[in-house]
């Protein structure tokens, strides 16, 4: 409780441009610390203006290298850029090696670029559970856009699309045939698709395959998913990607889709926090009822109760057993 007294100071320093305060607030949010939550609550009213751009795609597609090139282009356009780079945590030790910064170290001396690595800490879906909180902090600190790099994704990690205004999906030639492109999931969430490593054989064909597929996708009116060719290493095609991100932002600002996206982001964040609270709080609530908890789990193992009946009990919906 003591430390809460200092919170206004931390939030005020963050708003005044203190990058150390921003970094420390990010740590507190990431750790689920009540002080971090209080900082976000203090600054939340000043957020919502920054563009949030999700960058996703399979491991090795060149996400980090492309983000480095995007930062270069955005800096030339006078933008202050933050990037949140997410890597997986070890399911065994809980540790992580966060190596995405390696491709971006030329920005370490630029005060208008802030890069933060984040471990997913067991959260599925390609992000960490507290990524939205970090976005709010960077937004309040005056960074715009905020780029979020997901872990290298397979076919189902689509959470970034709920969080970002614009989702940029990276694909590379040589990962599979045309059937991969018609599977549901990842391909449907790209507002913009970039075929990276444009110098590799098969890049042009992949653009053709993808163009055919995305025209069939059900997308909101007024925006058809562009398929762009990029070479992140040389920077080729990168200005066009930034132009397209800006065009998508203008589209969102003037269409019903933009409002729906903001609603979806808010819903997704509230549900995420709710899930986090349930995970954190349930065992605590049960601390003085540890035997009941074991009993319930034993009952599920022995098929005396169903998992959903136990949930009802925990939520107090069966009226009696939990009290």
Partner 1 sequence: MAESQSNPRTHPIRVLIAKPGLDGHDRGAKVMARALRDAGFEVVYTGLFQTPEMIAAAALQEDVDVVGLSILSGAHMALFPRIIDALRERGVDDVLIVAGGTIPDDDVQPLLDLGVSAVFGPGTSLSEAVRFIRQHAPVRHDVP
CB-CB contact of 81 with 147 (8 Å): yes
Task: Please state the closest distance from residue 322 (CB atom) to partner 1, in A.
Answer: 27
Residue of 67, 81, 115, 314 that binds partner 1 (CB under 8 A): 115
Q: Which residue has the tokens 């908890």?
A: 293
Task: Please state the closest distance from residue 6 (CB atom) to partner 1, in A.
Answer: 5
Closest to partner 1 by CB, 108 vs 177, is 108
- Looking only at residues 11 through 40 of this chain, which bind partner 1 when binding is defined by CB under 8 A? 19-21, 23-24, 26-28, 30-31, 35
User: What 3-state DSSP class applies to 313?
Assistant: helix
Kindly determine how many residues on this chain lie close enough to bind partner 1 according to the rule CB under 8 A. Answer: 38
Non-local (6+) Cβ contacts of 15 within 8 A are 43, 46, 140, 141
Burial of 299 (0-12, 13-18, 19+ CB in 10 A): middle
274 binds partner 1 (CB under 8 A): no
Q: Which residue has the tokens 């959260």?
A: 123
- Looking only at residues 54 through 113 of this chain, which bind partner 1 when binding is defined by CB under 8 A? 89-90, 92-99, 101-102, 105, 108-109
242 binds partner 1 (CB under 8 A): no
Task: Please state the closest distance from residue 103 (CB atom) to partner 1, in A.
Answer: 8
Closest to partner 1 by CB, 133 vs 173, is 133
DSSP 13-74: HHHTT-HHHHHHHHHHHHTT-HHHHHHHHHHGGG-S-S-EEEEE-STTS-HHHHHHHHHHHH
Residue of 14, 52, 119, 146 that binds partner 1 (CB under 8 A): 119
Residue of 54, 68, 70, 114 that binds partner 1 (CB under 8 A): 114
Question: Which two three-digit tokens encode residue 141?
Answer: 């600190």
Closest to partner 1 by CB, 94 vs 154, is 94
7 binds partner 1 (CB under 8 A): yes
Residue among 130, 137, 98 nearest 31 (CA): 130
156 binds partner 1 (CB under 8 A): no
Residue among 137, 134, 107 nearest 119 (CA): 134
Q: Which residues bind partner 1 (CB under 8 A)?
A: 2-3, 6-7, 9-10, 19-21, 23-24, 26-28, 30-31, 35, 89-90, 92-99, 101-102, 105, 108-109, 114-117, 119, 121
């Amino acid at each position: 409780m003591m430390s809460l007294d200092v919170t206004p100071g931390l939030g005020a320093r963050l708003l005044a441009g203190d990058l150390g305060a921003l970094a420390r607030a990010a740590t507190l949010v990431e750790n689920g610390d009540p002080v971090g939550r209080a900082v976000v609550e203090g600054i939340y009213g000043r957020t919502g203006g920054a563009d949030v751009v999700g960058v996703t795609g399979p491991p090795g597609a060149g996400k980090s290298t492309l983000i480095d090139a995007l930062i270069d282009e955005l800096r030339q356009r006078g933008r202050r850029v933050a990037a949140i780079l997410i890597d997986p945590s070890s399911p065994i030790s809980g540790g992580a090696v966060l190596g995405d910064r390696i491709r971006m170290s030329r920005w370490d001396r630029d005060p208008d670029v802030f890069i933060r690595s984040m471990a997913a800490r067991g959260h599925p879906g390609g992000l960490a559970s507290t990524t939205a909180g970090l976005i709010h902090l960077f937004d309040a600190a005056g960074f715009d856009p905020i780029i979020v790099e997901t872990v290298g994704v397979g076919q189902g990690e689509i959470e970034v699309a709920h969080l970002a205004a614009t989702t940029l999906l990276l694909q590379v030639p040589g990962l599979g045939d045309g059937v991969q492109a018609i599977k549901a999931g990842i391909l449907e969430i790209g507002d913009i698709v970039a075929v990276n490593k444009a110098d590799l054989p098969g890049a042009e064909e992949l653009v053709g395959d993808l163009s055919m597929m995305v025209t069939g996708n059900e997308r909101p009116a007024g925006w058809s998913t562009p398929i762009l060719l990029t070479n992140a290493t040389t920077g080729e095609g990168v200005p066009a990607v930034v132009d397209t991100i800006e065009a998508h932002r203008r589209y969102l600002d003037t269409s019903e889709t933009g409002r729906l996206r903001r609603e979806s982001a808010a819903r997704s964040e509230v549900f995420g926090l709710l899930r986090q609270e349930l995970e954190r709080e349930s065992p605590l609530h049960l601390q003085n009822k540890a035997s009941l908890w074991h009993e319930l789990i034993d009952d599920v193992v022995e098929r005396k109760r169903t998992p959903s009946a136990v949930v009802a009990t925990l939520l107090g919906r069966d009226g009696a057993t939990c009290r």
